[in-house]
């Protein structure tokens, strides 16, 4: 089978040919149809992600495909079932093995490309906004990186929850995508005084920060008393400096959000959230935004677009050229 594989730490991954895997006890073999790309894939290549597998490994965190076989003694999902799975690796290949209990059957109306774009982005935003920030109708949510993979889902979900959304993204085209997802106020990320711009917009009760750096520091400075700051990621490459003494006197709360960590921390919260999200999709309430659908031989191009933030929403790779 073809796979986008990193053979040795510190080297570049390549598209290569590997043996097709076989499922062991508790595992399912999937014929992978699509795989979503994530910023974490770039960090894994560089060895900087918190859950980087030991080399050699195949990249690709979230997959969608069809169950082809189950390992010995494994109960469901039955072969032929269309499923999504988050395995952390192995998705940029034509076949893959994953723990069977991580496979989620897909709604009939959900395509494989939508499923591969769905889990991490919507799962992260849903967990952050509902379980951690507990956003209430009428509150203001500031979303940094509002046109990106997770940011765009935060805009969509926060608006659905009845919040007023301030979207921060770079350029008119990206801001238009955020507006279409439900943002009420738009601010260009290149604004010369972001703190002033956010305060002029009323500040935020919640900041959803997938960018970090100076942008995150400005948003935190504009956070209202009693506000919640959600640390999602650092797409800028820089970690914000947090003045805890300011947070203390303003009664603010800092939340670290690592969705994948909930597989160990509280898997029931993760399962319940994903069930709710898939139900929303089945009802027609969510619309995954895929800006690029690329064949497997163009995966390096997709990662480069992700690295330079040239895409909106998600980039998805299909195994079927």
Give the model confidence (pLDDT) of 229-278 as tens digits: 999 999 998 999 999 999 999 999 999 999 989 989 999 999 899 999 99
Domains plus CATH for the chain? 2-118+288-318 (3.90.180.10), 121-260 (3.40.50.720)
CA distances, 195 to each of 2, 142, 191, 245 (Å): 48, 12, 9, 18
H/E stretch holding 45:
helix 39-45
Q: Which stretches within the chain are classed as H helix?
A: 39-45, 112-116, 119-126, 149-160, 172-180, 194-200, 213-221, 244-249, 262-265, 267-282, 299-307
Residue 115: name the closest of 314, 321, 320 by CA.
314
Average of per-residue pLDDT values in the chain: 95
Residue 194: name the closest of 167, 214, 210 by CA.
214
What are 173's two structure tokens? 């085209």
Contact 315, 31 (CB under 8 A): no
Give the model confidence (pLDDT) of 184-236 as tens digits: 999 999 999 999 999 999 999 999 999 999 999 999 999 999 999 999 999 99
Task: Give the integer Cα–Cα distance in Å for 317 and 299.
Answer: 7
């Amino acid at each position: 089978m073809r796979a986008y594989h990193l053979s040795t730490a510190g080297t570049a991954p390549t598209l290569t040919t590997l043996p097709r895997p076989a499922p062991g006890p508790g595992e399912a073999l999937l014929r992978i149809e699509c795989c979503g790309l994530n910023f974490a894939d770039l960090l894994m290549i560089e060895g900087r992600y918190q859950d980087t597998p030991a080399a050699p490994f195949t990249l690709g965190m979230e997959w969608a495909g069809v169950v082809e076989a189950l390992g010995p003694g494994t109960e469901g999902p039955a072969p032929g079932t269309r499923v999504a799975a988050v395995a952390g690796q192995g998705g940029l290949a034509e076949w893959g093995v994953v723990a069977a209990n991580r496979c989620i059957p897909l709604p009939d109306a959900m395509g494989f490309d939508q499923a591969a774009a769905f889990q991490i982005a919507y799962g992260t935003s849903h967990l952050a906004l509902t379980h951690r920030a507990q956003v209430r109708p009428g509150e203001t949510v500031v979303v940094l990186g509002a046109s990106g993979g997770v940011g765009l889902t935060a805009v969509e979900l926060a608006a659905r929850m009845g919040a007023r959304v301030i979207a921060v993204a770079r350029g008119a085209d990206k801001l238009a995508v955020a507006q279409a997802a439900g943002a009420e106020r738009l601010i260009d990320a290149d604004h010369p005084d972001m703190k002033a711009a956010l305060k002029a917009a009323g500040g935020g009760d919640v900041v959803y920060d997938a960018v970090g750096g100076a942008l995150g520091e400005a948003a935190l400075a504009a956070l209202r008393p009693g506000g919640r700051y959600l640390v999602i990621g650092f797409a800028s490459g820089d970690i914000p400096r947090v003045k805890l003494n300011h947070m203390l006197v303003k009664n603010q709360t800092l939340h670290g959000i690592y969705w994948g960590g909930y597989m160990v921390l509280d898997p029931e919260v993760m399962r319940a959230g994903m069930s709710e999200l898939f139900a929303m999709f089945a009802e027609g309430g969510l619309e995954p935004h895929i800006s690029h659908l690329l064949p497997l031989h163009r995966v390096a191009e997709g990662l480069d677009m992700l690295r330079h933030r040239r895409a909106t929403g998600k980039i998805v790779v299909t195994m079927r050229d």
